Amino acid sequence: MNRPAPRELTLLSRTQLSPHMLRLTLGGSAMDDFPADQASAYVKLMFPSDAGARPLMRTYTVRAQRAGEIDIDFVVHQDTGPASRWAQEAQLGDRIMVGGPGPKKMVDTSADWLLMVGDMTALPAISVNLEQLPPNARGYAVIEVATAADIQVLSAPANIEIHWVLNPHPGTDDNGLLDKVQSLPWLDGRPYVWCACEFSSMRVLREHFRAQSDLDRSNLYISSYWKLGVGEEAHKALKQASA
């Protein structure tokens, strides 16, 4: 299938969701042929680079979609790259090229129980998943945020326990998410595990999950969404080598 051509979208609104999370709504007539129902899919935001070079691409999740517009929730981080900087500085009416959407990142709801693990970059995808789960779903969501004020009110079935892990310096504590995951009872039946976070945390979690005898690889989605100290290009190369 041909990749959809990038489209130019306009910044329609900005909402500061919490100290480290900024929601931007992008839309415009170029959304007319954007496929429906793409919450949790990823898009590629494109930023100009040196003359003649390919644009820099940064990957973000469609947090919500309405007629003619999508919401993207940006982690506001100090070690600025082009995407974080653009999100903080862009004015209403500014335009940006957006590629995609790529595949949605949804859990397998036919599993007996679910475990979703992620840091703030995965919070948009985890939130979409929680919202769309059947009411009888059970399991856990374990989410790392920078401060208590970054904890969001999430819509989730009653039998999904939500656990928040605080890490004021994202990317510096490889074991924060793992420790919380290990403290939770592993439930009976077939699990489905969805996990996305910083590269080093992802590696320790991947080792842990691969050691679970009843967790088949087909029931595990695990990905790093960024790596401390390097931009997306270098992170992508390390991710491919590590896979």
Ligand X SMILES: Cc1cc2nc3c(=O)[nH]c(=O)nc-3n(C[C@H](O)[C@H](O)[C@H](O)COP(=O)(O)OP(=O)(O)OC[C@H]3O[C@@H](n4cnc5c(N)ncnc54)[C@H](O)[C@@H]3O)c2cc1C
Please give the residue ranges that form the binding site for ligand X (CB under 6 A).
Answer: 42, 58-61, 73-75, 77, 79, 81-84, 121, 124, 170-171, 225-232
Closer by beta carbon to ligand X, 35 or else 229: 229
Closer by beta carbon to ligand X, 39 or else 113: 39
Place of tokens 């506001």: 76
Q: Are 23 and 72 in contact (CB under 8 A)?
A: yes
Nearest residue to ligand X, scored by beta-carbon proximity: 81
CB of 153 to ligand X, least distance (A): 18
Does a cis peptide bond (omega within 30 degrees of 0) precede residue 101?
Answer: yes
Closer by beta carbon to ligand X, 84 or else 132: 84
Cβ-count burial of 114 within 10 angstroms (0-12 exposed, 13-18 middle, 19+ buried)? buried
User: What is the C-alpha to C-alpha distance for residues 230 and 200, in angstroms, rounded to an integer?
Assistant: 12
Closer by beta carbon to ligand X, 25 or else 121: 121
User: What is the C-alpha to C-alpha distance for residues 96 and 225, in angstroms, rounded to an integer?
Assistant: 21
CB of 15 to ligand X, least distance (A): 14
CB of 207 to ligand X, least distance (A): 20
User: What is the C-alpha to C-alpha distance for residues 215 and 29, in angstroms, rounded to an integer?
Assistant: 44
CB of 49 to ligand X, least distance (A): 11
Closer by beta carbon to ligand X, 79 or else 161: 79
CA dihedral sign, ordered 148, 105, 23, 75: positive
Return the CA Rg of the chain: 18
CB of 227 to ligand X, least distance (A): 6
